[in-house]
Amino acid sequence: MSSLFQTYTLNNGVEIKNRLVVAPMTHFGANEDGTLGKQERTFISNRAVDMGMFITAATLVAKNGKTFVGQPEALDDSHLDSLRETAKVLQAQGTKAILQIHHGGVNAQANLTDGQGLVGASDHTESGAKAATADEVVGLIQAYTNAAELAIRAGFDGVEIHGANGYLIQQFFSGEFNRRTDEWGGSLEKRLRFPLAIVDSVVTLKEKYAKPEFIVGYRFSPEEPGENGLTMADTFALIDALVEKPLQYLHVSLHEFDKKVRRGADTNLTRMQLIHERINGKLPLIGVGGLLSGEQIRAAFQTGWAEFIGLGKAVMVNPNIATLLKENLDNEIATELDPTRADQYGMPDILWGLCQQGGAWLPPVKGQEWKPLDI
Ligand SMILES: Cc1cc2nc3c(=O)[nH]c(=O)nc-3n(C[C@H](O)[C@H](O)[C@H](O)COP(=O)(O)O)c2cc1C
């Protein structure tokens, strides 16, 4: 049996001490100006121990992309000290600190953008977002690059480009959202341009800083519902392009590790297996989704479909889960939140409130029915 606690050396020579990764989790705990909040600090202060990597909450790259109350920001030098502090809090726990860089696109919240109008790949009726002009597209690529630059200057070990969960980058890739007829939309090749331009720009930045050790990862969602939504065939094209780039890892966003393909590939097989086969060893893959118990986590790793296992909800419920796994104390891993024990979890108030209400994307709560989000 391969062990979750074996090292992995990335293609840039950086050694990751084990195969466990804290999945990015928006916590709603940053200050209003996007700096490290008190509640955010509590949330991240003990969850990185014995974890190979810790990917931060989606962190904003441009004001008009702000999507969450209490979302961390990496907009300009006013955020530098706070980013430094965030990296320090994580690294002090012995993990690699990876900043997830994010723009909500049409899913941004108009009441959070300081009056700036929302933008997306194309006009979007429900949100009122407008299609970004060609100049704005270039500005958005620059915004991700600028956030990556702040991450480098702040001492982060890397960034993860958030190309998943229906946010801006995915909106450009998806035929459902992207109805452009210019160079940034239309054919599959053109829909790939925005994601790949961001990757290229961040990689060029890293070269400019002569920082080969800086980790650049990319997260994607493999499928979307909707007639023109992404299929596995689109995702294979994305993977084929990404593995040619000097990235360090890919990260798939799933709610269920074992979820089968919806369309665009063999529907009898899991998305994880086919994605891993398509990558074909060219980059390591982080797999994730509904792994709550020690048994589920270990079984997922044993499939061999992922070099790293990402944990979100399990880390919310068990801040010390990596230590429990390391010490083979699987029987001490809880798979539900105890709603009477807020003191145990150190969650920001908004996140704790959401957890109390229950939801398929949040951890199971003792005494409430739960099943994972089906997308
Ligand atoms: C509270 C919460 C916040 C999340 N925020 C983010 C985020 O900021 N960025 C992201 O890519 N995924 C986010 N996710 C998705 C997780 O990274 C993960 O993919 C998902 O929860 C499935 O894994 P899990 O079952 O181990 O939690 C979030 C999930 C939760 C539960």
**Ligand 1 atom closest to residue 160's alpha carbon, by position in its atom list:** 11
Question: Which token pair is 363?
Answer: 């951890």
The residues, any chain, with a CB within 8 Å of residue 5's CB and separated by 6 or more, are: 18, 19, 325, 326
Long-range contacts of 187-191 (CB under 8 A, 24+ apart): 188/234, 188/237
Task: Give dist(CA 266, CA 304) in Å, integer.
Answer: 19
Q: What pLDDT shows up at residue 191?
A: 98
Nearest CA to ligand 1 atom 28: 25
Do the strands 158-163 and 130-131 form a parallel or antiparallel pair, or are they unpaired? unpaired
Ligand 1 site, residue 57, Cβ cutoff 6 A: yes
Give me the tens of pLDDT residue by residue for the chain, a chain 375 residues long. Answer: 569 999 999 999 999 999 999 999 999 999 999 999 999 999 999 999 999 999 999 999 999 999 999 999 999 999 999 999 999 999 999 999 999 999 999 999 999 999 999 999 999 999 999 999 999 999 999 999 999 999 999 999 999 999 999 999 999 999 999 999 999 999 999 999 999 999 999 999 999 999 999 999 999 999 999 899 999 999 999 999 999 999 999 999 999 999 999 999 999 999 999 999 999 999 999 999 999 999 999 999 999 999 999 999 999 999 999 999 999 999 999 999 999 999 999 999 999 999 999 889 999 999 998 888 887
User: Which spans in 49-192 are helix H?
Assistant: 80-91, 134-154, 168-173, 188-191
Q: What pLDDT shows up at residue 375?
A: 79
Nearest CA to ligand 1 atom 18: 312
Do the strands 59-60 and 96-102 form a parallel or antiparallel pair, or are they unpaired? parallel
Q: What pLDDT shows up at residue 1?
A: 58
Nearest CA to ligand 1 atom 3: 25
What is the CATH code for 8-357? 3.20.20.70
Residue 350, burial from CB neighbour count under 10 angstroms (0-12, 13-18, 19+)? middle
**79-82-87-90 Cα dihedral, nearest 10 degrees:** -140
